[in-house]
Amino acid sequence: MSTVSIPGYTYGTASVPRSPVTLQDLENLKKALLFTAEDERYLRMAGQVLADQVEDILDLWYGFVGSHPHLVYYFTGPDGKPLADYLGAVRKRFGQWILDTCNRPYDQAWLNYQYEIGLRHHRTKKNQTDKVRSVPHIPLRYLIAFIYPITATIKPFLAKKGHSPEEVEKMHQAWFKAVVLQVALWSYPYAKEGDF
């Protein structure tokens, strides 16, 4: 999928603010997570494995969100009903996020976009990208809690291309670390100044 066709996907553009987190902060977070060059290599492998499974992964994740009213609530309009166009636009970005997690270099552009993603979940920018009238804020607790389903459910997809159990486990651990790293970065707008 061309990223040009993804509504609201602004990775690497001038519209994305510079992250207040420095590249050195990012390196320190990676060290705290035991995220290494080997993890980067296995993330690239995971990207190849997942590339043609993105829609199936999204079907599973959206089924999970849709089956929990307290989660789908964050995609509802003033009438309390889910906004189909909003869900669809977010789905396209979510699919690209899978690929970006595996394939993008974790450089300044990537760091900036993590900040943007955090802002889009926080009241600072929620709903602005898609110009919708929906719930104005996603609580931090759900970003943190979502680490588990997003990590646990990916492993069967990583195992579908004939890699050894050891390779699958290494891909899975690299994915897990990458998700935790991103959620840590997304939490920046939620922290009081000086507390991040």
- Residue 82: what are its φ and ψ, rounded to 5°? -60, 140
Residue 153 CB coordination number (10 Å): 13
pLDDT at 17 over 90: yes
Q: Which of 90, 106, 93 is nearest to 43 (CA)?
A: 106
Q: Which long-range contacts (CB under 8 A, 24 or more apart) does 84-87 make?
A: 85/130, 85/132, 86/130, 86/132, 86/134, 87/62
> For a pLDDT cut of 90, what percent of the chain falls above it?
97
pLDDT at 1 over 90: no
The answer to whether the beta carbons of residues 44 and 158 sit under 8 Å apart is no
pLDDT at 136 over 80: yes
What is the Cα–Cα distance from 174 to 163, expressed in whole angstroms?
15
The pLDDT score that the predictor gives to residue 140 is 98
pLDDT at 116 over 90: yes
pLDDT at 67 over 90: yes
pLDDT at 11 over 90: yes
Match domain 38-190 to its CATH number in 1.20.210.10, 1.10.490.10, 3.40.190.10, 1.10.1660.10. 1.10.490.10
pLDDT at 135 over 70: yes
- pLDDT confidence bin for 5, thresholds 50/70/90: confident
For 18-35, what is the mean pLDDT?
Answer: 98
pLDDT at 81 over 60: yes
Whether this model's pTM surpasses 0.85: yes
Q: What's the whole-number average pLDDT of the chain? A: 97
The pLDDT score that the predictor gives to residue 32 is 98
pLDDT at 23 over 70: yes
For 79-96, what is the mean pLDDT?
Answer: 96
The pLDDT score that the predictor gives to residue 20 is 98
- Each domain of the chain, given as residue ranges in start order, spans 38-190
The pLDDT score that the predictor gives to residue 37 is 97
- pLDDT confidence bin for 2, thresholds 50/70/90: low
Q: What is the pLDDT of residues 164-190, one digit of tens each?
A: 999 999 999 999 999 999 999 999 999
